[in-house]
Structure 1
Amino acid sequence: MVNAVVGVFALSVWIGFFVNRQDIFSWVRLGVFLKNILSTTDAARFLRASLGVGIIIFLVILEQISRNFFKKPVSFTKRDIKNIVDSSDYTYSFNAFASDKSYIVNDEKDAFIMYAKSKGSWIALGDPVGKSERKNELLWKFKEIADNASAKPAFIGIDHKYVQIYDDIGLDTFNIGQEARVPLITFDKGDGCFEYFCRLEKEIEDAGFKYQIINAGQFGQYREIFAKINKEWEKNVNYLERNFIPGKYDESYMSDMDFGVLEKAGKIYAFSVIIKTKNKCELSSEIVRYIKCGYNVFAYIVFKNILWAKENGYDWFNLGFAHSPSVNDVIGVMRHFAKMFMFAEHFDYNLVFLREFKNKFYPVWHNRYIAVHPDKYIITFIKSFTVLVSPLRTVGGKHLFRRFFKR
């Protein structure tokens, strides 16, 4: 932006000197110059205006240099990130606790952007987390830092409410699907709409299974059990753990969460990570793991988590993303983002079945977007995103080999 302004100013000065060259070059002596520059001629007015604009541009450039080279970056700790997450209304903010995230934090330390780097792109997950009045300022800061690093900024999973802000900083937006949120104030399992889930609940509990909540402080005593269930589930469904996106089994932040579990005779058959905001605005359970026991445990756990959220006064239950039927996905862009759709792994990434399941809870759907650099950068972004969320490599290259056979 500054370069463009300087270029226009230089061109204007050149044109001005060309038009007024006879008057200006006749003022070569300093005394004559100082006398004539205060006159009312066109040449004098041009010189005064050019001098004024030149001083303003010089001060702006000086401020830019001072900000970029002398201002210290904001120092912050994990505690600062936790404080911001605790003030959030949305459960996606808890993804900041995963070990694969980097952060840009504002000067006041009350908002941040979580992101990761991939092939010349800085890809942010969701909108800025924190106070809404800080979003505009923080987005500009993120773009400026990315530009200085010769990287292309991009955002994935942003809300429809903030599309205009991303447009203001020069990014193009594309719809990648919709987010399903269940309004718990109107959710009533006895109104006949949830007959299937009620039958499933009765069938499983009549068989001796019991749903219960395990508090975060008890995670240590269940750590090995949960890890074993997760490993068996991954093997049964041929699941590949991926970077960056939600849904990864990550004990580094799970230890601070509550869990909904299914147990029978002292044995745990399933667990889900319960993510909840402190102000009770929203709750979600993006990780559900289970071992085979002859029932549709996945649907049961999600249903029971919703009931628990309602009983405990939460406003919304977030079911995550699904494809949008109204989006004409001619070039198949949607499939590249299916890996980040909550619960997609439980439906073998069949987006039609995934949406049908979420619709059974009668959610409110909101459009979600990606924001990327213009000029056909969408293709480059898709490549960078695909590399970023590629399956985690393991010793011997087992996952690296499997990635080519798992869609």
Structure 2
Amino acid sequence: MKKFKQLLSRLIVPTVTVILISQSFYMTREITWDMIFSTINDIYWWQALLLMVLGFVAVLPTVLNDVILAKWQHYHLKRRELLARSWLINVFNINAGFVGTVGMLLRRIWFFDQKNTNHMKPYIQMYILSLTGLFVASAGAIVAVWFNFVPGYEDNMIWLMLLLGAAIFVGLMSFVPRFHFWQGMTRRALVLLSGNALLTYALQMALFVTIGLTIGVNVRVAIMLLLFTIANTIALVTMTPGTWGSFDVSMLLLFSGLAIDVEKAVVWLILYRLVYNMMPLASALVLFFYRLSRKINTDYRGVPHYVALSVTHQLTTVALYLAGILLVLSGTMPSIMQRITVLHRLRPWPITFALANQLPNILLGFLLLISARGIANRVKRAYWSTIVVLILVVIYTLISFRQILPVVIFGLLLVAVILSKKTLYREQFIHSWEQQVVDGGIWGLLIISYLALGVLNAPLVKHHFQRLNQLGLLPSVHWWLMGTAIILVVTAFSLLLSRYLSAHQQQLGVPLDEPRLNQLLVLGDTHYTNLAFLGDKRFYFYQVAGQDVVGMQFRVINNQAMVMGDPFGDKKYFAAGMQQFVDDADVLGYTPVFYEVSEQVAMLAHEFGYDFFKLGEEAHVILSAFSTAGKKMQNVRSVVNQAQRAGFEYQVLTPPFNQQIMAQLQAISQEWLAGREEKGYSLGFFDPNYLQRYPIAVLAQAGKIEAFATLVTSHSEQQLAVDLMRFTQVAPNGVMDVLFVNTIAYAKAQGLQTLNLGMSPLANVGQHRQSFGRERLANLVYQFGSKVYSFEGLHHYKSKFTKNWVPMYIAYSRKSWVLMVMIGLLKIDNKGVARAPEMKVVYDKDNDFEQ
């Protein structure tokens, strides 16, 4: 018998719940979602806003319980922290509390750092007192039914009396001396908790009644209050988590005895759950995950926060693009926008109606796309412009669609942009080629869709010009004129927004400051620092304690800052200097590309998230090991001997050079170019100002120069590099062999270690099966591209003088497309300036070349 009673007691709650739920399904079987949404759509926006506010107000008093608890138990918590913990505890308890068990456990967990948290008694006492409002309401309901103030609910007296009886029993038992239940409870805490319980329950009833009145339920307020109390009583007795299920089913059963439409009853309960349970729960979840993310972020040194911001920024950008695309597409289909009542009066004037019908969607859509690009580029100026555009979109959708869902979607997008403000750090907007390709594709598809759907298939054309359309001309002309007007307006506003984003452009780095550059080159130079004096580059200086310690030369094309060669200056600061350069460039919207750099610098760039691949190899002649002896150098020796017998003379001239020498060199250069355009950036070009800076090795016969090469010395590398090389068409074969052999001897006499013969592009690139795909492709170009450029021939020629090859690399951001990087290099591979910077020199009359 005892086991049977235990089994029966365990089955009562689930049995009652199943009966109630099955009954609710039976009662609502004919209700559809369309009926529910139809009822909800009748609610004005200000009423919906009021209900949302009242929902939070009804929950807020529960937070006061923990404020009272903290003072009563002498917790030491900051007010902000206490309120945050209390909100989480009470909201979760409202939605999942098994007779307050969840709330008690959560308090045990979240107040673990306070004293007295090892005892559950204060939490149990607080929970019992929190039911004071329901107990008082139940007693009042019994009185109202007993004395027939609210007739017709005598059958529900059992639930009220059961709860009241349980309350009386628990109250009497709590005063039994041996239980000491109320021990530790102060009179102040008792009064405050009981009073707050009455206030909380009163606000819940007020919310429930307000929802009923809002949706137009014609029921006495007293009956609403009675039904609310009875349903809460049933839910508490059945111990449903958070009163979900039992309360709602009980209300539906109670509503069945009233003249209330079932769909309105369902909407009533849905709105109550939405504003009292779901929205506070959503806020609590946001708060919970925010606190959790802060803790995890602290534990893992900020990495999760960075990842979360990055992901949020990407999602926001994608959402902005999708929103803009949808708005434009909706503008290409005028039937969607015919819901605007005011525009129906414009129908007799088709062009005016169509413009007013389509223009707002298309204009706002394209402005949103431009704003999305600004947000994607993390530009500060894009923040307020995007906020303004989104506010206009929200207002427009609210007026035109007159539905809450689009407004909510764009409103959430507005909130996402506001929250992403910290991710916007760039000072200016630069539209990179990669982004232009993506945006151009999107804009192109939208314009095509506009022409295809908005012009050819517009319902307005078919309706107003059906007869004329059969003739073939007027509709087409009409819609083309309308489309042109729309495109002009959209273009004008788009240009204004683009100009706003692109305003206040700042240049990266500084122009050539020769004294400053020379002072830094004393700390360390490279065989490419001579290119700094071409005048086609800007410079970035990294300072330590106010002194320049690292420098880089670069040239800007689009958003790419093409750095030429390794940094120069003090090597120990290269990593810090490159990192600062990448950061400063990023703030201004530029992306550095490190071109023709050493393996060491390529690895440093890789640490900054850069990809790299091998460009080719430089031929370095080890001067101490070079010799023309041996069988392999037989041809070279022969050419050198023939040149000597023919009267060719090798000489290294030092600047400044007189006009006669410069005229000879210029004539040789023009003959060698044969009308081709001079190259620059990574190569020296013929310019009198530039040539006056470095020694020139010449080969002359009978006083006439036949070949020359400018020589650049890198003291840090102990290296002599051959820069500009030119020779006449009548010069004998092997003239450059003679020039190189003599230059090697000259460099050796200067006490240097190597002679740099320059790059052999694509040499030994992509030879392995496991090489990068782009390097394998470069290898094919190397093997089969000799018809355009003799890659193999150049490598073979330089191999006569050395077997020592030094790899050179290009490093570029992983966010850049390698194709666009290559295009950028091709576009800047020219002089870039009309004249190189002039160097003040005093000509030495004795430095004339002996004729």
Question: Which TM class, normalised by the smaller chain length?
Answer: 0.7 to 0.9
1:307 and 2:307 are equivalent in the alignment: no
Q: Residue by residue, what CA displacement relative to the aligned partner does 1:254-311 show, whole Å, maximum 9, x if unpaired?
A: 2110011111222222211011123570001121111123332222212221121112
1:225 and 2:664 are equivalent in the alignment: yes
Q: 1:113-192 counterparts in 2 under 5 A?
A: 113-192=552-631
Which stretch shifts more, 217-226 or 91-100?
Answer: 217-226
Question: Which of 277, 280, 299 is matched with 2:714 structurally?
Answer: 277
Measured after TM superposition, the shift of residue 172 of structure 1 is 0.5
Letter in 2 for 1:159: S
Q: Structure 1 residues 134, 232: CA separation in 2 closer, same or farther (over 3 Å shift)?
A: same
Other-structure match for 1:77: 513
Q: 1:341-352 counterparts in 2 under 5 A?
A: 349-352=789-792
Other-structure match for 2:681: 244
Other-structure match for 2:76: 35
Letter in 1 for 2:656: G
1:320 and 2:764 are equivalent in the alignment: no
Measured after TM superposition, the shift of residue 75 of structure 1 is 9.7
Contact 2:650-2:698 at 8 Å conserved across structures: yes
Measured after TM superposition, the shift of residue 22 of structure 1 is 12
Other-structure match for 1:106: 542
Higher relative helix content: 2
Letter in 1 for 2:735: V
| CA–CA distance in structure 2, aligned partners of residues 360 and 194 of structure 1 | 7
Q: 1:385-400 counterparts in 2 under 5 A?
A: 385-390=825-830
Letter in 1 for 2:584: I
Q: Secondary structure at the match of 2:825?
A: helix
Q: 1:197-212 counterparts in 2 under 5 A?
A: 197-212=636-651
Contact 1:241-1:392 at 8 Å conserved across structures: no
Contact 1:23-1:43 at 8 Å conserved across structures: no
| CA–CA distance in structure 2, aligned partners of residues 75 and 240 of structure 1 | 25
Q: Residue by residue, what CA displacement relative to the aligned partner does 1:52-93 show, whole Å, maximum 9, x if unpaired?
A: 96xx99xxx99x99xx9xxxx889831121233344353122
Letter in 1 for 2:758: G
| CA–CA distance in structure 1, aligned partners of residues 824 and 717 of structure 2 | 35
Contact 1:171-1:372 at 8 Å conserved across structures: yes
Contact 1:90-1:281 at 8 Å conserved across structures: no
| CA–CA distance in structure 1, aligned partners of residues 672 and 682 of structure 2 | 19
| CA–CA distance in structure 1, aligned partners of residues 691 and 662 of structure 2 | 10
Q: Secondary structure at the match of 1:217?
A: coil
Q: Structure 1 residues 186, 24: CA separation in 2 closer, same or farther (over 3 Å shift)?
A: farther
Question: Which of 515, 530, 534 is matched with 1:94 structurally?
Answer: 530
1:366 and 2:806 are equivalent in the alignment: yes
| CA–CA distance in structure 1, aligned partners of residues 825 and 746 of structure 2 | 35
| CA–CA distance in structure 1, aligned partners of residues 622 and 62 of structure 2 | 75
| CA–CA distance in structure 1, aligned partners of residues 803 and 697 of structure 2 | 21
Q: Secondary structure at the match of 1:244?
A: coil
Letter in 2 for 1:293: A
Q: Structure 1 residues 243, 25: CA separation in 2 closer, same or farther (over 3 Å shift)?
A: farther
Contact 1:259-1:271 at 8 Å conserved across structures: yes
Other-structure match for 2:691: 254
Identity %: 19
The alignment's TM-score, normalised by the length of structure 2, stands at 0.37
| CA–CA distance in structure 1, aligned partners of residues 691 and 67 of structure 2 | 76
| CA–CA distance in structure 1, aligned partners of residues 797 and 527 of structure 2 | 21
Q: Secondary structure at the match of 2:625?
A: coil
Q: Structure 1 residues 44, 315: CA separation in 2 closer, same or farther (over 3 Å shift)?
A: farther
Q: 1:375-390 counterparts in 2 under 5 A?
A: 375=815, 377-390=817-830
Q: Secondary structure at the match of 2:579?
A: helix
Q: Structure 1 residues 149, 348: CA separation in 2 closer, same or farther (over 3 Å shift)?
A: same
Contact 2:621-2:756 at 8 Å conserved across structures: yes
Letter in 2 for 1:315: Q
Q: Structure 1 residues 110, 36: CA separation in 2 closer, same or farther (over 3 Å shift)?
A: closer
Question: Number of residue pairs matched?
Answer: 353
Measured after TM superposition, the shift of residue 223 of structure 1 is 1.8
| CA–CA distance in structure 2, aligned partners of residues 134 and 171 of structure 1 | 19
Measured after TM superposition, the shift of residue 27 of structure 1 is 6.1
| CA–CA distance in structure 2, aligned partners of residues 22 and 387 of structure 1 | 68
Q: Structure 1 residues 143, 279: CA separation in 2 closer, same or farther (over 3 Å shift)?
A: closer
Measured after TM superposition, the shift of residue 313 of structure 1 is 1.4
| CA–CA distance in structure 1, aligned partners of residues 61 and 764 of structure 2 | 69
Measured after TM superposition, the shift of residue 141 of structure 1 is 1.6
The alignment's TM-score, normalised by the length of structure 1, stands at 0.74
Letter in 2 for 1:366: V
Q: Secondary structure at the match of 1:218?
A: coil
| CA–CA distance in structure 2, aligned partners of residues 34 and 197 of structure 1 | 93
Q: Structure 1 residues 274, 86: CA separation in 2 closer, same or farther (over 3 Å shift)?
A: farther
Measured after TM superposition, the shift of residue 28 of structure 1 is 5.8
Q: Structure 1 residues 280, 217: CA separation in 2 closer, same or farther (over 3 Å shift)?
A: farther
Contact 1:122-1:153 at 8 Å conserved across structures: yes
Q: Structure 1 residues 27, 208: CA separation in 2 closer, same or farther (over 3 Å shift)?
A: farther
Letter in 2 for 1:36: L
Q: Which has the higher contact order (CA 8 A, sep 6+)?
A: 1
Gaps of 5+ in 2: 1-59, 83-107, 114-290, 303-420, 429-508, 768-774, 835-851
| CA–CA distance in structure 1, aligned partners of residues 75 and 659 of structure 2 | 81
Q: Residue by residue, what CA displacement relative to the aligned partner does 1:304-363 show, whole Å, maximum 9, x if unpaired?
A: 211211122110111121122342544348969xxxxxxx9xx97300000001110123
Which stretch shifts more, 295-304 or 37-46?
Answer: 37-46
Contact 2:550-2:569 at 8 Å conserved across structures: yes
Q: Residue by residue, what CA displacement relative to the aligned partner does 1:116-148 show, whole Å, maximum 9, x if unpaired?
A: 011221111112112111111111122112212
Other-structure match for 1:287: 724
Q: Secondary structure at the match of 1:243?
A: coil
Other-structure match for 1:3: none
Contact 1:181-1:318 at 8 Å conserved across structures: yes
Gaps of 5+ in 1: 1-20, 337-343, 395-407
Q: Residue by residue, what CA displacement relative to the aligned partner does 1:376-407 show, whole Å, maximum 9, x if unpaired?
A: 6211111111111157799xxxxxxxxxxxxx
1:266 and 2:703 are equivalent in the alignment: yes
